[in-house]
Amino acid sequence: MSVFPKISLRAEVEQHLSDVFKNEELLAEMGDTEAQRRFEDLLSLLSHPPAFTCVRASTHLAPLETIRDRLLEELRERQVDWPEQSDVPILTHPQLPDVLLLPVLGPRPVPPRKSEVIVGAQCGNAVLRGAHVFAPGILSTPPYMKAGDVVSVFSDVEGRCTRGAKGFQGKKAFLGNGVAEMSRDGIFCSEESVRGVAVRMVDPVYRSPCFDRVLPSLLFLQNLPSVVVGHVLGPCPGERILDMCAAPGGKTTHIAALMGGQGEVIALDKIARKMEHICQNAQSLQLDCVRAYRFDSIRAVSGEQSANPDNPHGGPPFPPESFDRVLLDAPCSGLGQRPNMCCPWSLRELTSYQPLQRKLFRAAVQLLKTGGTLVYSTCTVTLAENEEQVAWALSTFPCLSLQPQEPHVGGKGMPGAGLSHDQLQLLQRFTPEREMSEASAGCDLNPDAPCSVDLTKEDLSDLLQRANGDTIGFFIAKFLKS
Ligand SMILES: C[S@@+](CC[C@H](N)C(=O)[O-])C[C@H]1O[C@@H](n2cnc3c(N)ncnc32)[C@H](O)[C@@H]1O
C-alpha cells in the first residue's frame, strides 16, 4: 500500500465527526448523499499531502520575481538529484503577493525494494511533503545497512515500532525509495545524538522539492491558509500587535514582514523550549521588531490600566486595550493537518480544546483596543473549535462583530452552529473535500511527465483553483471590536 487510503481514527471519533459533518443544518443545505460523499472525501484526503508546496517569500527583503528566480536557480543546481525539478512551474498567487507555489507530483508508482527503513509517523509525513529522512526520525533499519545502500522507506503510522528494531511487521505505509547516507551503527550506536540526513529520498511516492537550507532568509515554508491569516489580520507599519500563541513564529514573522519591520510584534507562547524557534526565525528573516516572551496568554491581561511596573521592558502581562490587532492562532485538535494517516486520540482528547480556546479568546478581547481587529484561527476541521466558537464569541462579547476577510480564497463557514447565512459567508474555512466537488481537475500534472513551465491561462487558473482548495484543513474568523 503506498499511502493510507484514509485517515485511521478511533471508532468513537469517526462516529463523532460523521455526526458533525452530517448535522441537521448541513443536511438541509446539501442533502444526505452529498454530505456523506464529502465526509468520505475528507477522511481520504487527510491521509494525503496537499496538492502544492507553499512557500512564503521575504518580500520585505527582495521583490517576489527576484526571489522566484533565485529559487529556480537553486532547484536547477540541485538537478543532479531530480532532473525534473527544474521543469516544475513555480506559480505566484494573484491574491497573495508573497507566495510561491510548487505542485506536488504524486502519488507516483514506485516499486518497493527488499531493504526496509521504518520512520516515525511525523518524519513520514515530512517525507510525503518533500523532506529527506533525518537520523532522529529513523526507528528501524535492515541489520547491516551501510551508506550507499538503496532502501525503501515506510512510515510507522500507528507508532508501534521500537527504536533500533531490525524489522517491523506492523501497519506501515510506503513512502518511496532512497539511498542511505549513514550506516545502521552510525544511526543507533553513536554516543552522541545523531543529526543530519540519514536517507536521501531519490524516488518518493510524492515528489516535491526539499526546502532544507534553501534560501533561508528569503523563503519560509508555510501552508497557504496560514499565509492568508497574516493578510487577513492586515497589520500596518507602526502598529502594536499581539500574537498570543506564536511558536514557532510562522505567523509572527509574517506579521512583522507585512509591517516592513516597523512597529512592534509581541509573540507569546506557553512552552519554553519553543521560544528559541520564534527568535531564530525572526533573526533568519531579518525581522527585528519581534519581541518574544514565554507566557501563558490566558494570564496576559494585567489588572492595572497603566504599564506593568514589574516589567519595564514592555513584556506581559499587559493592561487592557494595549494592542491595535490581536492574533489568536489557537491550540487546537489539529485535525486539518495533512498528511495524517492515523490519529490515535480518544473522543475526550479531541473535544478537550474548546474551553481552553475560550479562555484565550476572553484575554484576546480584553487586550484589544476599541476599534482594533481580532483574528481567530485553527488548523482543525471540527465545528466545536471553529463555527461554534464564533457563535459563542458573538453572543458573549456584544462589542464584537464579524468582518469580511481579504483575501477570501477558502470556502464559507460550515452550517451547524446556528450562524446565519451572511455570517457563514464572512468566515473562511479551508476544507480539502471542497476541492473535490467544486474545483475542476482540468490541469492535472502527470507525475511522470514533467510539466512545461509555459502554462496556458486556463491551466494556470485550474492550478490556482486547486492550490486554493487542496490545502490543509483550516479556519479563519475576523472580528472588529467597537
Ligand atoms: C497552532 S500553534 C501556533 C502556531 C503559530 N501561530 C505559527 O504560525 O507558527 C499553537 C501554539 O499555542 C501554544 N499555546 C498553547 N496554550 C497556550 C497558552 N495558554 N498561552 C500561550 N501559548 C499557548 C502552543 O505551545 C503552540 O505553540
The ranges assigned to domains in the chain are 116-204
What is the 250 CA–ligand 1 centroid distance (Å)? 11
Ligand 1: residue of 54, 245, 274 to mutate (most ligand atoms within 8 A of CB) is 245
pLDDT, tens only, 256-303: 999 999 999 999 999 999 999 999 999 999 999 999 999 999 999 998
21, 359 contact by CB (below 8 A): no
Quick one: pLDDT at residue 213? Answer: 87
Quick one: pLDDT at residue 313? Answer: 66
Q: In the structure grid, which three cell numbers stand for residue 73, read together? A: 536557480
Q: Is the CB of 358 under 6 A from ligand 1?
A: no
Bond from prior residue into 407 cis (ω within 30 degrees of 0) = yes
Question: How many angstroms separate the CA atoms of 53 and 286, rounded?
Answer: 23
| Average pLDDT of the segment spanning 160-176 | 95
The answer to whether the annotation marks 28 as part of a ligand binding site is no
What is the Cβ-side half-sphere exposure of residue 452, based on CA atoms within 13 angstroms?
4
377, 327 contact by CB (below 8 A): yes
What is the Cβ-side half-sphere exposure of residue 23, based on CA atoms within 13 angstroms?
16
Please tell me the total number of residues recorded for the chain in this structure.
482
Nearest to 247 by CA among 284, 217, 276, 212: 276
Q: In the structure grid, which three cell numbers stand for residue 458, read together? A: 486556463
Look up cell 464572512; give the residue.
Answer: 426
pLDDT, tens only, 80-136: 555 555 567 899 999 999 999 999 998 999 999 999 999 999 999 999 999 999 999
Flag whether pLDDT at 2 surpasses 70: no
| For ligand 1, atom 19: residue with the closest CA | 296
Quick one: pLDDT at residue 193? Answer: 87
The answer to whether the annotation marks 422 as part of a ligand binding site is no
What is the 427 CA–ligand 1 centroid distance (Å)? 22
Q: Classify the complex by whether its ipTM is higher than 0.95, answering yes or no.
A: yes
| Average pLDDT of the segment spanning 342-350 | 95
Q: In the structure grid, which three cell numbers stand for residue 316, read together? A: 506581559
Q: What is the CATH T-level fold of the domain 116-204, as seen in this structure?
A: 2.30.130
Name the helix (H) or strand (E) containing 122. Answer: helix 121-128
Q: Is the CB of 56 under 6 A from ligand 1?
A: no
What is the 449 CA–ligand 1 centroid distance (Å)? 41
Q: Is the CB of 298 under 6 A from ligand 1?
A: yes
Pairing outcome for strands 91-93 and 96-103: antiparallel
| Average pLDDT of the segment spanning 444-471 | 72
- C-alpha separations of 183 from 26, 143, 198, 212, 473 in Å: 54, 10, 8, 22, 38
Q: Is the CB of 331 under 6 A from ligand 1?
A: yes
Look up cell 472588529; give the residue.
Answer: 480
- DSSP of 427-438: SEEE-HHHHHHH
